Chain A
Amino acid sequence: MMAVATFEHDAELMLRVRDGDAQSFSLLLAKHRGPVIHFLYRMIQNQAVAEELAQEVFLRVYRSRASYEPTAKFTTWLFRIASHVALNHIRDGKHERHQESLDGEGTEGIGRQVASRAPTVEQEMVRESRLAEVRRTVESLPAKQRAAVLMHKYQEMDYAQIAAALECSESAVKSLLFRAYETLRAKLAHLAGRG
């Protein structure tokens, strides 16, 4: 029931955007800005770049308002655009340029965050290294597997939605997820054993 209500609400807002209602665009932005940026951040692992790409995603949403038809769930449509933008960015090789700043500013930022509330230096370091390992492992996944896992885990999208977002079949999604989780289990399962 929730899903249906949400579907209708978002699609309705988008139809109002199509008809010229700027406030509806603001509402959609307020609701979906976070999930889209977080998805892109986890894909690219650079906050500044993720926000830049998210701007592009919402710009594309806005530009396509005239041709918008509520044939798909709004979030599926939105994440199709977001996946498209992220995969293009990675495919164009722009991704590699950010690796330096990823190690630099990213880790430093986490260190600061943890320092403000973690009880001991040792715990901080364990936490930090675990988080770094999670990030590294996710980053090591092929881009499409990564996108599938992120939508599955964090956006709680079902196979059909992920398939629509990635423009592939549901069985392809199952295969992407299966391979991705296999890698993640092999590389991350030991983490939980460390307390």
Chain B
Amino acid sequence: MKSTKGSACPVERGEEEILLRYCAGTLAAEGAAQLEGHVTSCSRCRMWVQEQQMVWRALESWELEPVTADFDAALLARIAREKEARPGWRGWWERAVGAWSGGLEWRVAVPAAALALLLAAGLAVTNPFRGEPVETAVRLEAREIEQAERALEDLEMLRQLEPPEEDKKL
């Protein structure tokens, strides 16, 4: 146990990464059992694992706020508005709505979403969440333009999404 080279201690070997995987529960059962034997007898590793588990628990205590109820409606309304602005997309949308057997819900949902968005824009004047409320509408317009400009950038980025990692694993 004294020699770093032949040591079974990940901390001594500078290979704490295996302890991280042990704590995350992503080690294979056999490796985990073996490491557990070491951890119970090694104070340095035990300390490391305890601290990591405390971090784990601290992160798990982080509660989240619920998602705004009209999130989907707002998104669908934005998509619908984009289609208005860019007729090339309209065909896809109309085919999609027409092809889908539950299309009725969309036909209701999209205008409803648009209405919700209008209401939201109106409410934004007094909405404490947003910083400069009166400018909201103007800024939305500016954002639309910015987003359209970003579409090309997106395409470029998404084209680079070829993942050799997945192939390597097979």
Q: Which residues of A contact B (CB under 8 A)?
A: 20-23, 26, 29-30, 33-34, 37-38, 41-42, 47-48, 51, 54-56, 58-60, 62-64, 67-68, 71-73, 76-77, 80-81, 84, 97, 101, 105, 109-110, 113, 127, 130-131, 134-135, 138, 152-154, 158, 160-161, 163-164, 167, 170, 174, 177-178, 181, 184-185, 188-193
Contact = CB atoms under 8 A, between A and B. Distances in A.
A97 B74 CA distance: 24
B44 to A, nearest CB: 13
Nearest to A17: B96
Contacts of B62: 42, 131, 134-135, 138
Interface in B125-168: 128-131, 147, 151, 154-155, 157-163, 165-166, 168
A174 B147 CA distance: 34
Nearest to A55: B75
Nearest to A26: B72
A181 B61 contact: no
B100 A21 contact: yes
Q: Please classify how large the interface on chain B is, using the bins under 10, 10 to 19, 20 to 34, 35 or more.
A: 35 or more
A188 B71 contact: no
A25 to B, nearest CB: 8
Contact of B161 (A22, A55, A71, A130): A71
B17 A134 contact: no
Contacts of B95: 20
Contacts of B65: 41, 47, 109
A101 to B, nearest CB: 8
A117 to B, nearest CB: 11
Nearest to A135: B62
Contacts of A109: 65
A62 B169 CA distance: 28
Contacts of A170: 165
Given A33-B72, A48-B130, A64 B158 contact: yes
Nearest to A54: B71
B57 A192 contact: yes
Given A81-B158, A110-B63, A190-B54, 8 more contacts: A29-B75, A67-B155, A71-B163, A72-B162, A160-B166, A163-B165, A188-B55, A191-B54
A56 to B, nearest CB: 7
Contact of A97 (B51, B78, B131, B151): B131
Given A21-B100, A76-B163, A174-B17, A33 B58 contact: no
Given A64-B155, A76-B163, A181 B129 contact: no
Contact of B55 (A22, A56, A73, A181): A181
B40 interface: no
10 contacts: A20-B96, A21-B100, A22-B97, A33-B72, A56-B147, A67-B155, A131-B62, A167-B160, A178-B16, A192-B57
A20 to B, nearest CB: 4
A188 B163 contact: no
Contacts of A59: 75, 78-79, 82, 147
A97 B160 CA distance: 31
Interface string B47-68: 0101111111111011111011
B26 interface: yes
Contacts of A153: 56, 59
A163 B169 CA distance: 13
Given A72-B161, A134-B59, A51 B68 contact: yes
